[in-house]
C-alpha cells in the first residue's frame, strides 16, 4: 500500500507596488525559505523603482547564487564591492561565486580580504580551502602561503 501525498506550496502574495523596504523583507523571507525565483520577481519590481538600492541588489545577488546564475551574481557582487569595498558579505559572496566558477586565483584575494575584515573563522577556513586547492593544482606554492 502506497500513500501518494502531494504537497502544494501556497502561492506567494506579491502586491504589485511593494515599497523597497517592504520588498526587502518579503524577498529576504523568500530567500530564507529557499524560494529564489519568487524573491527575484519581488526584487526586480522593487529595483525598477529604486535601482541603486544596495540592500535589494545584495538580495538579488543572493538569489542569483541560490539559482546558480553565477555570472549574474558575479556582476552584481562586483558592482557592490566597487561601490562599497568594506562590505564583507558582498566581498565574501563574490569570492564564493568565483570559486563556484572554478576561478580560484580570482577568488582568493576577495576571500582573504573578507576573512581579514570580518575575523570570521568560516571565512578563514574558506581561504585555507582555496589556498590548498591552488597549491595542489600547482598554481600557488606553499611558500606563498606563509
Q: Which H helix or E strand runs over 1?
A: none
- pLDDT score for 17: 59
- pLDDT score for 10: 47
- pLDDT score for 31: 98
pLDDT in tens, 38-68: 999 999 999 999 999 999 999 999 999 999 9
Distance between CA atoms of 61 and 72, rounded to whole angstroms?
7
Provide the whole-model pTM.
0.83
CATH 1.25.40.10 residue ranges for the chain? 73-139
Residue 3 clears pLDDT 80, i.e. is over it = no
The answer as to CATH 1.25.40.10 being correct for domain 73-139 is yes
**45 HSE (CA, 13 A, CB side):** 17
Range 93-105 average pLDDT: 98
Amino acid at each position: 500500500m502506497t500513500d501518494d501525498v502531494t504537497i502544494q506550496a501556497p502561492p506567494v502574495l506579491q502586491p504589485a507596488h511593494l515599497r523597497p523596504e517592504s520588498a526587502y523583507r518579503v524577498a529576504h523571507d523568500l530567500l530564507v525559505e529557499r524560494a529564489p525565483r519568487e524573491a527575484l520577481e519581488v526584487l526586480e519590481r522593487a529595483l525598477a523603482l529604486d535601482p541603486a538600492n544596495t540592500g535589494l541588489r545584495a538580495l538579488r545577488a543572493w538569489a542569483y547564487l541560490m539559482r546558480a546564475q553565477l555570472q549574474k551574481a558575479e556582476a552584481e557582487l562586483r558592482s557592490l564591492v566597487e561601490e562599497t569595498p568594506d562590505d564583507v558579505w558582498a566581498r565574501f559572496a563574490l569570492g564564493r561565486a568565483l570559486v563556484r566558477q572554478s576561478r580560484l586565483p580570482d577568488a582568493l584575494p576577495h576571500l582573504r580580504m573578507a576573512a581579514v575584515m570580518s575575523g570570521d573563522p568560516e571565512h578563514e577556513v574558506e581561504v585555507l580551502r582555496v589556498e590548498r586547492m591552488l597549491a595542489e593544482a600547482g598554481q600557488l606554492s606553499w611558500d606563498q602561503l606563509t
